[in-house]
Amino acid sequence: MKEMTEPALGLSLLQPLSGVLAAMELSEASLSETATLSDPAAIPDSTPHDWYQGRCPTTGEWLRLPRTSLVEAIARHVASHLQHSPQVGMHQVGTQPARPTAADEGKMIGILLVEDAAGDRAILKAFSGLWHGRETIDGWVPPIPGRDRTAMEEARILALLDSIKHELLRLQTIPERQLLEQTSHQFATQIQALLAQHRQQKQQRQQQRQQILATHTGDDLTAALDALTRQSQQAGIAHRHLKRERDAVLHPLQAIVAAADARMLALKRRRRELSRHLQTQMHAHYHLTNFAGQSRTLEQLMQGGLPTGTGDCCAPKLLHYAATQGLTPLALAEIWWGAPSGDKQPGVFYTACAERCQPLMGFLLSGSQPASNFITFNEAEAERPLPILYQDDWLIAVDKPAGLLSVPGRTSDRHDSVLSRLRLQVSEGDRLIPVHRLDQDTSGVLLLARDAATHRHLSQQFQQRTVHKLYEAVVLGQVLVPALNEPQASAWTTLDLPLWGDPTQRPYQTVDWQRGKPSRTRVRVLSATETQTRLELQPVTGRTHQLRVHAAHPQGLGAPIVGDRLYGTSTPGLRLHLHSRELWVLHPDCKTRLQLQAPTPF
C-alpha cells in the first residue's frame, strides 16, 4: 500500500477507541461476544447491520464495509454530545449533550472505525457539507482536497447566490402579491354573493312568469313579461359591471406580480447555472484517493454527470482520509443529527446515497487489505435475475416482483432489492440510480437511470407530473365510485384526500385535512363481482402509500386492496393485489415517448 500523508493534519484526528469506549462507559466485549480489543483481526461485531459496498474498477469484485453495533453506538454517542456552536464541543466525545431542536441545522454525522499499522484501533469523525458555514472543525476530518484551488471563484459565486437569494425573497414578499390575493378574495366573495342573489331573483321571476301567464293577456301580458326581462338584463349588467370593476383593480396588480414571477424564474435559472458552474469547477479539482494509492478527480469518476454536493458527504471524506493516512477501515456508520430534512430523521442510520456516494464506493474501497471486513459480494443473489422490460445506454426498466424492495433497506436482512440485484446483473450496475420506488409489496414497472444526468432528466419529469402512471388493483367489495354513485362505472373519477405520515409511525399514512399534503388519484372500475372490484388507478401525485390509503379509507373508496396487511386485513400467502402496469416517460436522449408495460400477474 502506498504511504501518503496530508500536511498539518496527520493522524491528529484519530481518537483511540479505548478512550472513546471509556467515555461511553462501555467495553467492546459488551457489544460483541465474539470480538475484543485483544483480537485486532476480528470485526467489532459478528453481525453487520448493513454494508457500504461497490465494485472494484480494477478487479471487478464487489467490496463491502460493514456497519456494526459498535460503530453505531459510537455514532449515537457522538451525535448526542454535539453542541449547537461549531466552535464548542465538536472535538470532544465526552462533552455535555445539547439536544437539537427544530431550529437546528440538520446534518449527517459519520464515524469510521479504523486500524493503524501497529494494530491499534481508533475512530475518525466527519460531517456532511458545511457546519454553520464552516468546512473545517478541529477534530473532524476535513473536506476532500481541491476546494482551496477554487476558493476565489467559490467566494464570487456564493456572493452572487446570496444576492439572488435576497432578491427572490424580496420578490416573493412584494406588497402587491398579498394585496392581489386579498383583493381577489374580496371580489370573489362579492361575485359569489351577487350570483346567489341573482339565482334567487331568477327563481322568483320564474314563479312570477307562471303567474303572469295564468292571469294576464294582451298588452298587460306583454308589459309584465318585458318588465321581468328588464330585471334579468339589469342583473346581467350588475354582474358585468362588478367584473369590470374587479378587472380594473386586479389587472395592474396581476401585471406587477407576473413580472415579479418572471424575474423570479429567471433568477432561479441563473442560480441553477451558477451552482452547476461552481460544482463543475470544484469537481474538476476534487481528488479522491483509494487504498491502492490511486487518485482521481470527481469529474473522472463520475463522467455521466455530477449531482450537487458530490464528494461532500461523510463516507467519501472518511474513506479518502483513511486511505491517505495508511489506515485500514473496519466499520462505518452515518447518522442524521438535528432537525428532520426531507426523508432524513434524527437518530436514524443511512447508507451511501444512491446519487452522490454509491457511484464512488467501488473506487474508494479498492486496494484495501484482504480482511474479514472486506467480503466479496454474495454472488448467490445474482442467481435470481430480474425480468428486464427495457434497457439502453441511459436507463433500465424492470418488472419488480411483489415482496422485493426497490432499494436496500437499513439492515443486513433487508439488503436484497431490485437495485442490489441489478448491480450484479448488468454491466456498470454500481452506477444505477433509482428514479422512483415501488412499495415492497407492489409489483410492476420500476425505472432506473444509468447515470446522474439521465436521473436528473427523468426525475424532473416525475416532479413536473408529466409521467403517465397506470396501476391495476383488486379491492374487497363492490365499489361505488363516489362521483358517479354506481357500481362498474367506466368513467374516471378523482379522489382528493390529503395524506400525512406521523414520524413516530412510519411508514403508516393517514388522511389529515390540516397537516396532510395534497394527494390525488384518478380511479376507474374495470369489472366487479359481489365480493371484489378490479380497478385502474392513476396517481396524480406520488405520496407514500397513496393508492392503498385512497382505496381503504372511508372517505375514499372504502375498499382496501386485497392482501393489504397495513390498511386492510392479512391473509397468509396472499400478496398485495396492486401492480404498476404502465409507465410512460420522455426518453432523455431521443426525446420520444417511451411506453413501458408489465402484464398484471393477478
- Which sign, positive or negative, has the C-alpha torsion 41, 1, 53, 340? positive
Distances (CA, A) of 268 to 153, 265, 277, 308: 20, 5, 14, 15
Say if residues 84 and 94 touch (Cβ distance below 8 Å): no
Average pLDDT rounded to a whole number, residues 171-200: 91
C-alpha cell read off for 506 = 412510519
Q: How many residues does the chain have?
A: 602
Where do we find the cell 369489472? 527
pLDDT greater than 50 at residue 2: no
Angle between helices 151-172 and 218-285 (to 10 degrees): 170
Nearest to 125 by CA among 169, 178, 81, 163: 81
DSSP codes of every residue in 273-315: HHHHHHHHHHHHH-EEE-TTS-EEEHHHH-TT---TTTT-SHH
Say if residues 242 and 191 touch (Cβ distance below 8 Å): yes
C-alpha cell read off for 375 = 467480503
Q: What pLDDT, on the 0 to 100 scale, is given for residue 515?
A: 87
pLDDT greater than 90 at residue 32: no
pLDDT greater than 90 at residue 394: yes
The pLDDT mean for the chain works out to 81
Distance between CA atoms of residues 214 and 192, nearest Å: 33
- Number of helices and strands in the chain (H, E): 12, 23
pLDDT greater than 50 at residue 589: yes
Average pLDDT rounded to a whole number, residues 395-418: 81
Average pLDDT rounded to a whole number, residues 505-520: 87
Q: What pLDDT, on the 0 to 100 scale, is given for residue 308?
A: 56
Q: What pLDDT, on the 0 to 100 scale, is given for residue 410?
A: 59
C-alpha cell read off for 28 = 467492546
pLDDT range class, residue 270, cuts 50, 70, 90: very high
Q: What pLDDT, on the 0 to 100 scale, is given for residue 45?
A: 43
Q: What pLDDT, on the 0 to 100 scale, is given for residue 133?
A: 73
pLDDT greater than 90 at residue 298: no
C-alpha cell read off for 557 = 373508496
DSSP codes of every residue in 145-183: TTGGGGHHHHHHHHHHHHHHHHHHHHHHT-HHHHHHHHH
Distance between CA atoms of residues 395 and 456, nearest Å: 12
Q: What pLDDT, on the 0 to 100 scale, is given for residue 549?
A: 94
Average pLDDT rounded to a whole number, residues 403-421: 76
Nearest to 405 by CA among 413, 420, 417: 417
Distance between CA atoms of residues 535 and 234, nearest Å: 50
Say if residues 348 and 337 touch (Cβ distance below 8 Å): no
Average pLDDT rounded to a whole number, residues 294-319: 75
C-alpha cell read off for 275 = 451552482
Q: Classify 330 in phi/psi space as left (phi over 0), alpha (psi -120 to 50) or beta.
A: alpha
> What digits encode the pLDDT tens for the residues 188-197?
899 989 989 9
Q: What pLDDT, on the 0 to 100 scale, is given for residue 29?
A: 45
User: For residue 434, how many C-alpha atoms fall within 13 Å in the half-sphere facing its CB?
Assistant: 19
Distance between CA atoms of residues 360 and 526, nearest Å: 47
pLDDT greater than 60 at residue 284: yes
Q: What pLDDT, on the 0 to 100 scale, is given for residue 402?
A: 92
Nearest to 441 by CA among 406, 487, 489, 478: 406
65 SS3 class: strand
Q: What pLDDT, on the 0 to 100 scale, is given for residue 254?
A: 92
Average pLDDT rounded to a whole number, residues 549-568: 91
546 or 344, higher pLDDT: 546
pLDDT range class, residue 371, cuts 50, 70, 90: very low
SS3 content of the chain, % helix, strand, coil (to 5): 35, 20, 40
> Please, which residues bridge with residue 63 across strands?
54
Q: Which of 249-263, 384-398, 470-484, 534-548 has the lowest mean pLDDT?
A: 470-484
> Please, which residues bridge with residue 333 across strands?
111
Residue 343 backbone phi and psi in degrees, to 5? -95, 5
Distance between CA atoms of residues 245 and 183, nearest Å: 11
168 or 368, higher pLDDT: 168
pLDDT greater than 80 at residue 219: yes
Average pLDDT rounded to a whole number, residues 166-192: 91
Say if residues 540 and 493 touch (Cβ distance below 8 Å): no
| 117 contacts: CB under 8 Å, gap ≥ 6 | 326
Distance between CA atoms of residues 283 and 300, nearest Å: 9
Q: Which of 45, 312, 439, 451 is catalytic?
A: 439
Average pLDDT rounded to a whole number, residues 84-113: 55
Say if residues 346 and 339 touch (Cβ distance below 8 Å): yes
Q: What pLDDT, on the 0 to 100 scale, is given for residue 25?
A: 66
- Euclidean distance between the first and the last CA atom of the chain, given in angstroms as a whole number: 56
Q: What pLDDT, on the 0 to 100 scale, is given for residue 414?
A: 66
Q: Is 496 a catalytic residue?
A: no
Q: What pLDDT, on the 0 to 100 scale, is given for residue 3?
A: 36
Between CA 443 and CA 451, with CA 449 as vertex, the angle to 5 degrees is 160
> What digits encode the pLDDT tens for the residues 33-86?
333 333 333 334 446 778 888 878 887 777 888 888 889 989 998 888 775 444
pLDDT greater than 70 at residue 370: no
pLDDT greater than 90 at residue 584: yes
Q: Cis omega (within 30 of 0) on the bond before 507?
A: yes
DSSP codes of every residue in 195-239: HHHHHHHHHHHHHHHHHHHHH--HHHHHHHHHHHHHHHHHHHHHH
Q: What pLDDT, on the 0 to 100 scale, is given for residue 12?
A: 63
pLDDT greater than 80 at residue 536: yes
Indicate the helix (H) or strand (E) that contains 190: helix 175-215
| 556 contacts: CB under 8 Å, gap ≥ 6 | 495, 497, 511, 549, 550
Q: Which of 19-28, 29-38, 79-88, 295-304 has the lowest mean pLDDT?
A: 29-38
> What digits encode the pLDDT tens for the residues 129-150?
878 777 788 889 988 877 666 6
Say if residues 382 and 114 touch (Cβ distance below 8 Å): no
DSSP codes of every residue in 343-405: TB-TT-EE---TTTTHHHHHHHHTTPPP-TTS----GGGGGSPPPEEEE-SSEEEEEEPTT-B
Where do we find the cell 469484485? 61
Say if residues 488 and 527 touch (Cβ distance below 8 Å): yes
Nearest to 302 by CA among 171, 491, 428: 428
Where do we find the cell 428532520? 340
| 234 contacts: CB under 8 Å, gap ≥ 6 | none
pLDDT range class, residue 452, cuts 50, 70, 90: confident
Q: What pLDDT, on the 0 to 100 scale, is given for residue 38?
A: 34
